[in-house]
Chain A
Amino acid sequence: MIDLYRMQREKLVGMLAPVLFIAGAILLTGFVDENPERTAEMTRGTFGPTAWPSYMLYGVIFFAVGWLLQDVLTAYWKARVARKDVAGKTEATAQPRVSDVLEVRVLIAIGVIAAYGYLIPLIGFAFATLLFFLIWFVLGGIRKPRLIGIVSVAGTLFMLYLFVKLAAMPLSRGEGVFGEWTVALYQFLKVF
């Protein structure tokens, strides 16, 4: 029998990943179709629209189980080696810690990008991009205000020419007064 208590705690945490995939996939199999009765009636025993995603979810479960078994066996052998090692000087497996994976700076960056995406329809692409550049450069550790200002303005102008003038993309101009300001800016820059 596998002695789980002998395994390193980090390894157990590492094994959570395949377990989560298995649990997630099992859970998702119940959400493939919103109205299974109607689909069953429509397909009448043939391969219907839900067959493919369902089989693929079974595939996720199968390979996650394989991954888990492999990890469990590896950990079991390592635990046996550790038991035999009197001095207990076995090398610890380098498992990534949560703090290594999600640093505060990265979390802030994710928030800034999400806010940027949220602000585009509200204040328009031009002003949202300028604001994004300013915040991003400060977040990235640039401490020269003049450099931040010049690069932000130049970068925003470059993006406007690229996407609005050249690519003619229908980017949001913003709501209310921001919409008016954006139009005025476009006319001033002759990109509109």
Chain B
Amino acid sequence: METLINLSNGMLTAVDPFNLGIMLIGLTVGVVAGALPGISFVNAMAIALPFTYMMTPLSSMVFLGGIYAGGVFGGSISSILINIPGTPASLPSCWDGFPMTKRGESSRALTIAISASATGGVASALLLTFGAPPFAQFALAFGQPEFFAATVLGLVSIIAIAKAAPWVSLLSLFIGIVVGSVGIDPLYGVPRLTFGIPGLQSGINFVVVMIGLFAFCEVLEMLAKSTHGSVKDGKARFKLPSFRDFWSVKGSAARGAGIGCLIGMVPGAGATVGAVVAYGIEKQVSSDGAKFGTGVAAGLAAPEAAKNATTGAAMIPLLTLGIPGSAATAIMLAALVLHGVTPGPLLFATQTDMVYTIFASLLLANVFMIGAGVLVARGFSSLLKVPPTVLGAFIVVMSVVGAYGVRNNLFDVYVCLFFGIVGYVMKRVNFPTAPLVLGVILGPLAERYFLTSLANYDNDIGIFVSRPISASILAFALVFVMWSLIPDAIRKTRRGLRQAA
């Protein structure tokens, strides 16, 4: 009952004209960014991050939440219409969505995608609303060692994204943590890894790193592909979503939403894993499973519902423990930290209004997404005519200003450019960037929890394993690392032995 009262209060704040306005702007930006191949919504979130400086913490979360919800869906528009996934999570939408377009059913495919995505999104927002508070209640028992353990779990969970190369992912993560530790340390005031460069004394800001790795890197990649002129001409005649189309795939959408909610809660899993798993399960469950890949509505609805269902679910570990499960939620964590808000169980007790307004906004964003999706799908062919060179130029200017605006410091622009080059090279040689970003964001947090834990418990390093919750979380993190590293090593050894034999 208390949750419902809080939610209704949150809803009242969410429909405040300013909050509603920026949520709708965020939603549209997200859908457009997601729909344009090459400009992912994560890039849009990274570019939008500096704009949140002038907002309240609540407004910034509402704005970024809008981009997140809209962006996860947006990628499906290009998947369905031109067979180019706007985001990695939209890949399964190509498999059955594009064949439907080829059959002249693009309008029906988009209707199914929008309504299934909205269903998944609303389901996960409800899960977030009713599931997060009890979890936060449990997390109130956490002290500094438990938070350190939870942050470590958040850090290592990133290897779940790149299970194919766990060693490299962990290496990338540790590099990120080292980057995050550059500058004067907060407890003793000792400069670390600064090489006497004054600009490094205040540290390397994670926003600058993110803009460099995501936005600059994407522009360089765009330029390397030399794609000036339109990508492809999407010829979509779009009608309003019909209830009949949605009703025909209600079972698939419900299953997809359930799978997405479950997978979304696992840090590191994310929308891509959710969509692919939902597609695979739906293929097994559906009576039309054998026809999947030829334009089956159920094959489109399930992954669509699943990927949007991961959005709200991924915010449960983010808001209750401060563990971001994906690059997008890492940016949301960055926004909270920038505004001096520390996510965790205390957030639910001290800033209840803000938390429930975020929940309500996410609910509304998923409902309004239907309208934004319809609008963007209608104007999609015009959007694709914008040459990537022009888009790239605007991204560069916004990124430069964004990096400069972090501390009104030109040094940050060069740091940003440096990470853009690093990110570009990393992308070209398939070296994962997401763990590095997570390391830069969570590394300083982990260090703070580590040092304050030791300070509170007489420098006893054993404190992390002598407290039951902290020990359990650390054990879980260790199992997680082993679970990723050992099977990978065994698989590679077996393959090598097989080849040698």
Contacts and interface: CB of A to CB of B under 8 A. Distances in A.
Interface of A: 17-18, 21, 25, 28, 31-35, 39, 42-43, 46-50, 52-53, 56-57, 59-60, 63-64, 66-67, 70, 73-74, 76-78, 80-81, 96, 100-103, 105-106, 109-110, 113-114, 116-117, 120-121, 125, 129, 132-133, 136-137, 139-142, 151, 155, 159, 163, 167-171
B54 interface: yes
For B397, B420, B451, B485, which residue has the most chain A Cβ atoms within 10 angstroms?
Answer: B397
A53 B496 contact: no
A140 B410 contact: no
B11 to A, nearest CB: 28
B497 interface: yes
Nearest to B188: A49
28 contacts: A21-B171, A25-B178, A28-B193, A34-B196, A39-B188, A43-B188, A47-B450, A52-B450, A53-B192, A56-B177, A67-B168, A67-B171, A74-B492, A74-B496, A96-B428, A110-B220, A113-B417, A117-B410, A121-B410, A133-B393, A133-B397, A137-B390, A137-B393, A140-B223, A140-B390, A155-B393, A155-B397, A167-B54
A116 B185 CA distance: 32
Interface in B320-345: none
Contacts of B454: 46-47
A114 B187 contact: no
Contacts of A49: 185, 187-188, 190, 192
B443 interface: yes
Those 3 A-B pairs whose CB atoms lie nearest each other, nearest first:
A140-B389, A77-B496, A49-B185
A47 B459 contact: yes
A81 B224 CA distance: 36
Given A109-B223, A169-B405, A50 B190 contact: yes
A169 B403 CA distance: 12
Interface string B365-402: 00000000000000000000001111011101110110
Given A49-B192, A105-B223, A159-B397, A60 B171 contact: yes
Interface magnitude class on chain B: 35 or more
A52 B497 CA distance: 39
B167 interface: yes
Nearest to A102: B425
Classify the interface of chain A: helix, strand, loop or mixed. Answer: helix
Given A63-B174, A67-B171, A77-B496, A106 B424 contact: yes
Interface in B471-485: 485
Contacts of B238: none
B429 A17 contact: yes
Nearest to B444: A52
A21 B167 CA distance: 13
B353 interface: no
B318 to A, nearest CB: 23
Contact of B224 (A35, A96, A106, A169): A106
B266 to A, nearest CB: 23
A34 B228 CA distance: 49
B181 interface: yes
A60 B450 CA distance: 19
